[in-house]
Amino acid sequence: MAKLVLKLEFKTNGVSMKKDVFILFVILFVFPAFAQSSKGKIIEGIKIKSEILGEDIRYTVYLPYDYDTSNKYYPVVYLLHGYTDNDMGWVQFGEIDRLANDAIESGEITPMIIVMPDAGVSWYINNFDNSVRYEDFFIKEFIPQVERKYRVRTEKRYRGIAGLSMGGFGTLIYTLKHPDLFSACAPFSAAIYTKEFVKNISESRWQKVESVLYGPDLKGEERITDHWISYNPLEIIKNGDAEKFKSVRYYIDCGDGDFLSEGNSELHILMTEKEIPHEYRVRDGKHNWTYWRTGIIDGLKFIGQSFHQE
């Protein structure tokens, strides 16, 4: 292989300029390379074959800046998208790579792997007739696959989860139903519906969204099925063991102008009554990416506190 050697030496009034040229070389070439190495990377289009779902499921992953140059094992956060979005939403609209890079570089959050699965419109659950078992896929296939493929710390204390809207709902479902798996969570604008809200959903909306999840042609009180109750965060807390829920740290954030603020307020009140410790945030904002982009780092910071040793 040919090697190029650049040797420059200037003299001004008999004084060598080698030192100045070397400093200029460092500024022009070494510093930019170092700056680039502080950025993490996004890998899109990765697929996992799911026996449970009978198809390949796509996901996107964020790897911190030093992943390829170290042998370290990292904490992991699963970041869930909203309804009608996909695994690339948090990158395209949430700018999670830029935000995470800046926050890691400043020390605001610890270096972490962020995994973003594509859940379609499954709402991250097993539906009423088990024709779509996304929860089983996520818990039994997806998490183990991620932990085999990447250098991930596999203990509960190093595993967190967050998401927006439908993904906020999924975040709560997974932490409430599987508190042994997650140390902390950050649901944003979580789709939490009260019984009255569900009874009053229009028939056209029910057929389009909820029918595949909970059953078709249900009206009013009929919609409050055992299956719906088993996947409603409010009902899970009402009927469950509060002591188990307390093993997870909760950061709940919903805008004051969000149409889902009522359900999130109900969750806050119920968790307070059950003496389940949690952080509850109501910021100025609506159900949009501006709100989620400006809040996600605080959520990751909260989750990251679980990764540190006191």
The answer to the question of residue 173 being in a domain is yes
Query: pLDDT at position 6, please?
Result: 44
Q: How many Cα atoms occupy the beta-carbon half-sphere of 184 within 13 Å? A: 23
Sheet holding 55-63, edge to edge: 41-50, 55-63, 113-117, 76-80, 159-164, 184-188, 249-253, 279-281
- Torsion sign, CA atoms 166, 170, 176, 179: negative
Structural domain tally of the chain?
Answer: 1
The answer to the question of residue 221 being in a domain is no
The answer to the question of residue 208 being in a domain is no
The answer to the question of residue 36 being in a domain is no
Which residues span the domain enclosing 294? Answer: 41-192+232-307
User: With a cut of 50, which residues of the chain have pLDDT below it?
Assistant: 1-8, 10, 21, 23-28, 30-36
What token pair was written down for 274?
């059950």
Query: pLDDT at position 1, please?
Result: 40
Distance CA 124, CA 121 (A): 8
Distance CA 11, CA 251 (A): 63
The answer to the question of residue 155 being in a domain is yes
The answer to the question of residue 179 being in a domain is yes
CA 69 remoteness from chain centre: 24
Instruction: Tell me the per-residue pLDDT of 88-146, one tens digit each, with 9 for 90 and over.
Output: 999 999 999 999 999 999 999 999 999 999 999 999 999 999 999 999 999 999 999 99
The answer to the question of residue 126 being in a domain is yes
The answer to the question of residue 52 being in a domain is yes
**H or E segment and range at residue 170:** helix 166-177
Query: pLDDT at position 20, please?
Result: 54
Q: Which CATH number characterizes residue 298's domain?
A: 3.40.50.1820
